[in-house]
Structure formats: structure tokens, C-alpha cells
Structure 1
């Protein structure tokens, strides 16, 4: 049997899994997250889900979660959308149960290492991954390695002050909800028919995202910035205003050499989770 890596994406509404076999992701499925149950119940649900993958010869388990993690100890410090999942010794629990190496990190960090390992980020040693969805997340790869910072909090530009709120308020689905009382997908359909108000929404979004990217450039000047998340699919609608805003960046040479790319991976969360394992040196018995 071929050796496989299991990747899990644990979110507030669903737990999604898939295995990497010979560089290909397969056996992708999901179950609902029992978000309002006890910590013990949720842990058992995760374990039961992993058990369904045991017919694969698993060499390790990678997990991405939307929250802060003590990556060394594998402790989930808290998830806002799963009330009971606070200070959870998830690595210890799963290592004891399955006797496999377990690696856990923030989901945006997983996205960054996932696109670097398997996606359009492959050619670059230094990149930033930005997820644009219900919220905004960021991950950093430096010299080919994921930089998580303390408690996986590196790259959290979403929480940095911007205008009267923070970047996430203006660079995620929240912007469209708060200012246009609609979801990005619905507005995109209108914009593509020539609706002026919808087009204005994406022009403004592109401007705000451009300001976020400038902040990233001042801090890290990466070779590439990779955009992921559901809003990435509307890139043609905000590309022009984003680039116009980037032209005000103070170092033209940096900007001229920057690549801004759209992730082509549909299962970025799972790719990122398996990358946590795939980038580690794990001794596998023959």
C-alpha cells in the first residue's frame, strides 16, 4: 500500500479531509462540525473521522484551524466559532490515539505553505499568501520555509488598524456586506452585466486590497503574493484598481519585480494541512 499523508481543515461549520498519495490529493470528504458540543465530543468526532481514513497507510496528520496555535506543543488556543475549543491539546490527543506525527497550524499559514509546495508559489523562495473570503488571513514563507511567528500569529495583517476599523473590515467579504449589503458572488454577477454600483464596489475593494499589499511590501518585500479564498475568483473585477493603488508604493523596483498570482488550487486548506507534514523530516519504516 502507498504511504499517505492525511490533511484536515477544521472549521466552524465543517471538518474536511483528504490524503496526499504520490503528490496527488484524493479521497476528499467532509462532515459537519459539532460546533456547540463539548470539547470532548468534538475531539471524539475528529478521531472518528480520522479512523475512516485508516485504510490508507498514513505516515502523518496535518491540521489547519482558523485560530491561534501553539505549534510546538500542538495546542489550539482558541476558536471564536467553536466556543468549547479553547486550549485544546489536540496534538497530544491525536498522537496518543493514532501513534502518528501530528502538525497543527493556522489555516492561513497552511494556505501559504500549501501554494508554495503544490501550487503557483512553487518557483518562489519568499512569498506571502493572502486568503480573501469571509475574513482575511495571511501566511509567510521565507527562504522556502513557513514562518509562523509566536503562536502562529505571523501574517495577521487582517487585524492591523486601517481607516476606522482594520484591514479585514475592508479586504474581505465583510466589506461587501457592510457597505453594499450583499455577498461578493452576487455582486460579481451584477458587475459582469455592467451594473455601475456593483462595479464601484469592486473598484473600492481593489483600492483597499492595494493598500494592504503595500503594507506587506513595506514589511517583507516578497518575490510573490498569492491570493486565495473565494473572492480570488472575482480578481478581474478588482485587478485594475488594486494595481492603480499599488503604483503609489515608494519603491518602484520592488513593485516591478513583484508577482501577484491567483491560487489555482481548489482544496487549498487540505493542501496546506498536508504540506505541514510533507515539509518535515519524518522517519518512515520500510
Structure 2
């Protein structure tokens, strides 16, 4: 066996050992496994919603929703496990398609927020000086406003829609990633391997994205897992207030808002979409706690 093959084997062995340790830490928290199971179940249902939903035409995910006024406000039964709404639409089918929609909202919001926030934090932390100070003061301006209030303000300024609500939430979320990344970069950029990268003449972008970024991903990953549920919760809050997805889109917050007008007689109308929100946020919180224990990091 050559020296190169020996070195490659040792690196692979070390990586497997590291993975085993991380997996062991994750499994030490039983609630993290519960959270992982919940999230995997939600993803499974979101993917298979068109085939699992008994009445996919009631979901209005694409085009207009079917209406069945002769079946309006039927209580939960075998034919309609979650009952029907004011238009006779099957709530179970709408909640299933709402799962797909809510996960999409969370992914889009965090993709935008993480892209902006991490870039700002990396540049501000690495360059420092006046540039870093300016970027952090801009970040502080956004952080000084309560997140939900800022999201409401952006949503009111724009036309109420699903797309605009996602933009509003992303505008709320990116400063947290900027601040977290900035703090991590200030610590990592003093390490020897960063100094070595600069010493051999590596360009600034290469040093930032090849040397620093991989070493600050752990806390960012943990925060993403925790924020996924909160982003869905804020989107549901905007939908509840009429500033997010508009009827007949099967968004959970919008469904809860419509159902509150018929409480307590038709309790199932709001209850099941509300439980879906609760279960999703709980699952991501449990998963985030498990990842935090696994990486042994603290997030802001």
C-alpha cells in the first residue's frame, strides 16, 4: 500500500469516527429522535400529498378549489377525518397540501435570509474596520424592530400574497444570521489555518469561502433547524391576519383565521390546521435541540 493510499485510508477512518461520535451525541437526546421522526413524516406527507389526500381537488393548490355546499360543516368522520369547511371542502386534504406549502415557505424564507445574512456576516467579520462597523450598524437597525412588527410593516406595504409574505419574513430573519456569522468569523479568522491561507497568497474570497465558512457552519445549521419552525409560525400569523396567503390557498394560518368565525360549534375547522402548526414547530424545535447537542454549540 502506498503512502498516499495510507493517508487516504486514515482520513476516511477519522471521518467515520467523527460521524459516529456526532450520531451518538444526537441519539443521546430522545426528543431529537422524536423531532426527526416528525419532520421526516411531514416531508413524506408533503411529497405524497396528491396521492394521500382523499380529495385533492378540494385543496386549491393549483387552480380553483372544488366546492360542495351540500357537505358544508360536516363533523369528522371516516369519509372526512378532519371534517369539512364552510364550502364543503375536505379539511384533511387541505391540511396535507398545507404541509407542502408551509415547508416550501420555510425553505424559501431561510434560503433568502441565510444567503443574505451569512454573506453580510462573513464580509463584515473578515474585512472588519469601517466596512464591518457599517454592516453591523445596518444589521442593528433591523434587529431593533420586533420581528413580527417588521414583518407586518413590510406585508402591509406590499400587496397581501404568499410571495410577499415570504419576502417580508426573509427581511426579518437575515439580520440574525448576519450577527451570528459575524461573531463566529471574528473568532475563526484568528486561527492558524486562516493565517496560513493568507500567507500563501490565497485570495480573500477563497479564504472566506474555503477556510472560514466551513468552520462556522455548525451554529448556522443549528439555527436553521430551529428557525424553520418559527418561520412557518410567522407565515401562519401573517396568513391569520390576512396579510399572507389568500383564500382559497390551503395555508394553515389562513384556515385557522377562517375557522375562528365558526367557533365553537364547528371546532374542527380551526383545530386541525392549528394542531398542524403546533406539531411542525415542535418537531423542528426538538430537531434543533438535538443538532445543538450534537455539535455542542450555542446560537443566538
**TM-score band, normalised by shorter chain:** under 0.3
Q: Which TM-score applies when normalising by structure 2? A: 0.24
Bigger relative contact order, structure 1 or 2, given CA contacts below 8 A and separation 6+? 2
Name which one, 1 or 2, has greater alpha-carbon Rg. 2
- Greater per-residue strand proportion: 1
Question: How high is the TM-score relative to the length of structure 1?
Answer: 0.25
Higher helix share: 2
